[in-house]
Amino acid sequence: MDIKFSEDNLKKLEAIKEHYPVSSAALMPALWLVQKQFGWISEDTMKYISKLLDIPSEQIYGVVKFYTMLNSVPKGKFHLEVCTNISCMLRGSYDILKYISEKLNISSGETTPDGMFTLNEVECLGSCGTAPAMQVNDHYEENLNKEKIDKIIESLSMKTDKNP
């Protein structure tokens, strides 16, 4: 498959490069654009970015692997990331994680066979005042309880686009 940025993303990348004195600093924003367009960051896209920004692809691989949010494997359409760090834990986040896990019949780190949901236990989301919380793609769901989870999963199951 021919990997290429959309016209829109190419324009965005050119504008981002202007933010920095050296183009290599545009790597992380470029990887975010990749993830937005392709859903994840494959080795082929890393090679594409390598040519675009003149950075060795090995170095790009190192950067992708360092950051938790940059996905080097494909994820489901909706990525459910449940915070289980201390403030959320004190307010029952492990019950929430277990509940979602049983409801979707997947463990943390797995994707449902239909490719709809990926479940992950994650570190503090900075949502301690509205705990327990989880992230669904770019969106935060806070003050979770089982009824709320039911509603969220039900409405996500019916979505045709990726916006939660």
Q: Which of residues 135-164 bind another protein (CB under 8 A)?
A: 135, 138-140
- HEC string for 65-91: HHCCCCCCCCCCCEEEEEECCHHHHHC
Concatenated DSSP letters of 17-40: HTTSSSGGGGHHHHHHHHHHHHSS
Cβ proximity to another protein, 49 vs 100, nearer residue: 49
Angle at 66 between CA 132 and CA 83, to 5 degrees: 5
Separation of alpha carbons 78 and 153, rounded Å: 10
- Confirm or reject binding of residue 89 to another protein (CB under 8 A): yes
- Confirm or reject binding of residue 45 to another protein (CB under 8 A): no
Minimum Å distance from CB 95 to another protein? 14
Instruction: Spell out, one character per residue from 99 to 118, where the chain touches another protein: x when CB under 8 A holds, - when not.
Output: --------------------
Site of interaction with another protein (CB under 8 A): 19-22, 24-29, 31-32, 55, 62-63, 66-70, 84-87, 89-91, 122-131, 135, 138-140
